[in-house]
Amino acid sequence: MWIRLRLDISWRNLCCGFLGSLNRAGRKAARKELEKFWSEGQNDVLACLSVRSGFDLLLQAMDLPKGSEVLFSAITIQDMPKIAEAHGLVPVPVDLCGSDYHIDLAALEQAVSSESKVLVIAHLFGARPCMQEVLEFARQHNLYVVEDCAQAWFKRNWRGNDQADVSLFSFGVIKTATALGGALCRINNPEILARMRSLQALQPVQPCLDLTIKCGKYAFLKAISTKFAFGGITMLCRQFGKNPDDVLGGLTRSFAGNNLFSKLRKQPNTGTLRLLKHRLETYDSRRINQRINNAHFIIEKLGLDKTEPELLNSQHSFWLFPLITDQADELIAHLRLHGFDTTQRGRLRVLPPHSKQRELTCPMATELLDRTVMLPCYPEMPLKAIESMCELILDFSTEVA
């Protein structure tokens, strides 16, 4: 049961993407149509190549004084703070808590300083924790709030929290409603949006062949994404001394290797823009309902309502299911042995403290991520498979108890 190669895209959409990638004309019109469609008349949207591209454009457009601090909810992908650093800014981690990985207000109070200008909040695994108190705090401290919804998109007309200054949505390869790339940024301030747009217009366009190659590559991966193939790949990895996480992660990584900035500083091409609009227009919301049902089944079966109450109390679309356990490594090995592709952190990391503020470690986030196992609960996963996965987890817990 794959999680990383279970791409949220049908054969039909892959064909559409492939054919669309051959048509290079009409990029400006495609961009306008997509932005108009998703902005619902608000004119506050910029379509980008990726969330990282949008974040990079935002920081260019904001042009903050060097040395300004960007507060990040502590668990995120490494590239986000790296982008802030490339703009001469100082990334500062803010500790998280709970099974919805929400910002800890006390940690936020400790982390903020007169140099703090931006707060980036990543919603993890599909959770959308209540942001009210954090937004009030941000307002009191004049922080510009960026909501990173890369893992949280769940329906066409959800454009993030409208009290956040910016909300960023990714449609990268392993995301919900993937367009094999592309991102949408909702930006409240029209001046910043206009600046981002002009900066983006100076960037080269993503080569058309990019999408053509991606459609071929992911069609192949989709075709082999069976339990049998997963078992085969893990066995081969073990034989060649490779970590299956590195192999599988590498297959789905965009902007792999060096030269991150030359890769992300591109405008999306016509095919990506058209495919993204098509995905938004036609996405079947029943898929998300099914994912939520699967997750609720796991919660009930494993009795998690007491140990992970935020899974039920927070809004959640369960992009992945985060199970918190004291034996993460052992449980992952046990589930993999039975053909379930589980992983611990993927590309997520706890942001280390900056050299100027060594005391700002994030013990809660570190413990949370160390104890998190990401379980599959995608819509096509048969109930029987979910049930056997839960039974394996319950057996494992009894064995180690």
Ligand X SMILES: Cc1ncc(COP(=O)(O)O)c(C=O)c1O
Residues that bind ligand X (CB under 6 A): 50-52, 76-77, 80, 122, 148, 150-151, 170, 172, 183, 254
Quote the Cα angle for 287-253-182, to 5°.
Answer: 60
Q: Among residues 348, 337, 379, which one has the least CA distance to residue 7? A: 379
Nearer to ligand X, 158 or 396 (CB): 158
For the chain, give percent helix, strand, coil, nearest 5: 45, 15, 40
In DSSP notation, 136-180 reads HHHHHTTPEEEEE-TTT--STT----TTSSEEEEE--TTSTT--S
CB of 177 to ligand X, least distance (A): 13
Nearer to ligand X, 122 or 273 (CB): 122
Nearer to ligand X, 166 or 302 (CB): 166
CB of 161 to ligand X, least distance (A): 16
- Is-contact 214 80, C-beta < 8 A? no
Nearer to ligand X, 122 or 393 (CB): 122
CB of 368 to ligand X, least distance (A): 15
CB of 116 to ligand X, least distance (A): 20
Distances, alpha carbon 197 to alpha carbons 26, 27, 89, 157, 339, in Å: 18, 14, 22, 22, 46
CB of 16 to ligand X, least distance (A): 20
Nearer to ligand X, 179 or 328 (CB): 179
> Please, what's the largest Cα pairwise distance for the chain?
62
- Structure token pair of residue 60: 């260019």
Nearer to ligand X, 18 or 101 (CB): 101
CB of 153 to ligand X, least distance (A): 11
328: enclosing H helix or E strand: helix 328-337
Residues recorded for the chain = 401
186: enclosing H helix or E strand: strand 183-187
